[in-house]
Amino acid sequence: SIWTLRPAAMLSLLLPAVASTNVSLAILIRHSDARSASYETCAGEWINGACWMTDTMQTVVAASLTAVTDFNARNASALPAFGTLAGCDKQLRFRLLDSGGTVAKSVRALGDLTSGTDVVIGPGRSSVSTTTAAITGALDIPQISYWSTSTDLDDIALYPRFMRTIPTDQAAASSVCSFWKRQLGLSTVAVLYVQDPFGRAYEEATKVACLALGLTFASEGFSEDESLREKSIRDAVESLSDSGAKALLVLGFPSSLGLIVDSALATGLLTAGTSWVFADSVVSVDFDELSEAAQDALHGSLQIKAVGATDGDPQWTRFASERWAALQPGDFNPHLPADWQIRDDFFTAVDPHTSAILREPGAFAYDAVVTAGLLSCQVAPTGALPVKFGTQFWESKHTLSFEGLSGRVEFDEKGDRSSANVQLFNLLGQGATAFSAQLVAQFTEDEWVWKGGSREHSGVIYNFGELEPPVEALPPTQDEVPP
């Protein structure tokens, strides 16, 4: 079924003077983990034969549907861009769909796209978007992802209508190499990556950037297939243990995190005097499920990512400080499965200032919905959508510019976000009830800008809580070379 989200109190505001024309969205957000077939393999909640995601993903649902409400209400206090739409008669309708984190579940959920879907929002995983974007592209239906970062999706021949509000991995990949070389003074670095479109493309981008800086680069991939995962992780970790690298970038998902850390502790890839960096595919709360030994080892690890919401941004500040706590579960639960309902205290219990999922995919998803609405108004301000709506939508993307929850949103010719705000976080867990992420530096104009003015004064620590960065062993001098 297709829904419009219109709180009763706002209904009079949502009745335009002229007949409105609907733009139909299919919004793909992961409610469940379709890859998990049993209680034993479910990292979320196993209910009635399905593995449901933890409630953090419900922040993405709330952000997306709030964007629908704000656009339909022309709520200029939410975003200034909504105040420019007086001549547009478009209203957003939506189907909220469970991507399940898999291609099969997403394709089934989308169904027959030729019968009334104008724009697809999502999905999250790059490995799913590479299939759905091929389908939407063939049908001339714009697709706007909020969490698919793989540069594989830049191929316009394969994905001719794919756009995204989240920056690609290219920016983070180049900045992590700069960090290793210019901030830590390392010469040998390594990447452990999941063998899917996200992991492979990120590894390749990191390899290119690191080699360009003269770094010695090692990498190993592992399988996410449950039947192969454990052995492939152990083999990859063991291989990298022989690389001599003191710095490692981990490109994997929460389901593999425990195996990776346990294997690395056993082989010596993770010891005091090493520095691990994680991408945005895990968040700090994922560390809370690990063993005590793993948590001790990861205390002081780092995370690098192109962030969404930033403190001080007026649109985000208004949303986080004024609007979030006022949202009501009853506005969203009718659109959610009975086994995945938003609990009564959700909007007061979840702190938008610290929720990484709300600040990243949540903010990017809000802006993806807004993009769909604003570009629809640009292409067809009044009346029915043109027959070539998808083509005109795509061709207009580079003219769009607005201030969203994730900052200024603009697109390049490939449909990518034009700019990225890359930040470095310290992941801290020792002596606290849960892991947290503390901002320590920002990558601006090819330079790292540290809190406190320098790395030494930023308060950054390294794995096992070490205060000093990793140091590579000096090569032996001629006198020390054995005969």
**Predicted model pTM:** 0.86
CB-based contacts of 280: which residues, under 8 Å, 6+ apart? 149, 172, 303, 305, 306, 360
74-104 pLDDT, tens digit per residue, is 999 999 999 999 999 999 999 999 999 999 9
Which range, of 19-23, 26-30, 255-259, 444-448, averages the lowest pLDDT? 19-23
Nearest to 163 by CA among 362, 357, 360, 410: 410
CA dist 352 → 359, 363, 426 (Å): 7, 10, 19
The reported pLDDT for the residue numbered 17 is 39
CB-based contacts of 36: which residues, under 8 Å, 6+ apart? 42, 43, 44, 51
Q: Tell me the HSE value of 421 on the side-chain side, using a 13 A CA sphere.
A: 15
The reported pLDDT for the residue numbered 219 is 97
The reported pLDDT for the residue numbered 390 is 97
Angle, helix 126-138 to helix 103-110, in steps of 10 degrees: 40
Q: Is residue 42's pLDDT more than 60?
A: yes
Q: Is residue 14's pLDDT more than 60?
A: no
**SS3 category, 469:** coil
Looking up tokens 């867990």, which residue turns up?
Answer: 429
Q: Would you say 99 and 106 are in contact if contact means Cβ atoms under 8 Å apart?
A: yes
Mean pLDDT value across residues 5-30:
64
User: What length does the chain have?
Assistant: 483
Q: Is residue 133's pLDDT more than 80?
A: yes
Q: Would you say 96 and 336 are in contact if contact means Cβ atoms under 8 Å apart?
A: yes
pLDDT band, residue 7 (cuts 50/70/90): very low
**Bridge partners of 240?**
none
297-327 pLDDT, tens digit per residue, is 999 999 999 999 999 899 999 999 999 999 9
DSSP per-residue codes, 260-292: HHHHHHHHTSS-TT-EEEE-TTS-GGGGGGS-H
Q: Would you say 357 and 60 are in contact if contact means Cβ atoms under 8 Å apart?
A: yes
417-474 pLDDT, tens digit per residue, is 998 999 999 999 966 568 999 999 999 878 899 999 999 999 999 999 999 999 987 6
Q: What is the distance of C-alpha 313 from the center of its chain?
A: 19
180-230 pLDDT, tens digit per residue, is 999 999 999 999 999 999 999 999 999 999 999 999 999 999 998 888 999
